[in-house]
Amino acid sequence: MENTSSFTTFVLINYEPMEQKKYFYFTVFLLPYILIITLNTSLITAIYKDSALHEPMYIFICNLSFNGIYGSTALLPHMLNKLATKSYKISLPNCLTQVFCLHTFATVELMILAIMGYDRYAAICTPLHYHNEMSPRKVKILIAVAWLFPFCTFALFLSLTIRLSFCSNVIYKTHCTNYDLVKISCSDTSVNNIVGIILTGMYMFPQFLVILISYVQILRICLHASKECQKKALQTCIPHLLTVINYVFGVCFELIQVRMKATQIPYGMALFMSVYFLILSTLLNPLIYGSSALKIHIYHFLQKRKLASVS
């Protein structure tokens, strides 16, 4: 007879090897989290306070930073709590909440990166029509779609996972993922698998296509432009390209973990790959984009001080 018993509490087994050096790992996860919150909050504040930064590109960067805070907060406080309490169990509702937050974080990130790619295309390839292409109304619509589409579609997809019963309660990670829950299910998961493939295609293919087409067009324009224009285009595009490459690395690491068994990957490497998305990407984004925003913010702040002293 098929085992239809279902667990409502799961054990995150990947915390056990950390017990010997739990204070070291606690520090390793705490310091990046403090930096992520500080850097992203500072960038959001600088953009919000300086009207000169109320341009589409910086509004998208602001959303990228907010998403970084959202994603890292969904994971790192949880990891710190597990290390501090030595309790590696997680309830099904908490596990599902974590799945929702982490998956929507990754999807929103790519949606915003695709919009930023289109924004760079509009700024470089059609500069005379840029303000029409990126009007305040269109920017608001694009941001709304970037957040609402992943949240609504993944909520529907997660409802398929909620109905599953589970034959095991062991998850070989430091956090919950939808794939791991489906893998330990003893229910029929064929619908989950089909819908999961369709949604993955919807979440990734159009967005990467937009980025690819945008940069093909930018490259085409730059080949016939002056060296000064090429330099400006490079300065504008390199931060975005670095962020996209960073995202691709995160996707590759996730795919490696899915394709290989936990025992086939050294523990340190598996841990690095599992938290790469939530730590390095959210830490690098404000560092990549923050320097230019900070320069503009400081410049306008000094200009205001200068005008105030003159008057």
Flag whether 131 is in a domain: yes
Question: Residues 175, 79: contact at Cβ < 8 Å?
Answer: yes
Q: Cβ atoms within 10 A of the Cβ of 22, count?
A: 14
Question: Residues 218, 126: contact at Cβ < 8 Å?
Answer: no
Tens of pLDDT, residues 49-94 = 888 788 999 999 999 999 999 999 999 999 999 999 888 999 999 9
Give residue 258's identity as a one-letter amino acid code.
Answer: V
Angstrom distance (rounded) from CA 252 to CA 275: 13
Flag whether 1 is in a domain: no
Say how many domains are in the chain.
1
Give residue 243's identity as a one-letter amino acid code.
Answer: T
Q: At residue 174, what are phi and psi to the nearest 5 degrees?
A: -95, -5
Q: Which residue has the tokens 């975005």?
A: 240
- What integer pLDDT is reported at residue 205 of this predicted model? 94
Give the range of the structural domain holding residue 280, as residue numbers without chain letter.
9-310
- What integer pLDDT is reported at residue 213 of this predicted model? 94
Flag whether 2 is in a domain: no
Flag whether 111 is in a domain: yes
The residue ranges of the chain whose pLDDT is under 50 are: 1-4
Flag whether 4 is in a domain: no
- What integer pLDDT is reported at residue 262 of this predicted model? 60
3-state secondary structure of 170: strand
CATH number of the domain that 76 lies in?
Answer: 1.20.1070.10
Flag whether 97 is in a domain: yes
- What integer pLDDT is reported at residue 311 of this predicted model? 53
What's the predicted TM-score (pTM) here? 0.89
Flag whether 225 is in a domain: yes
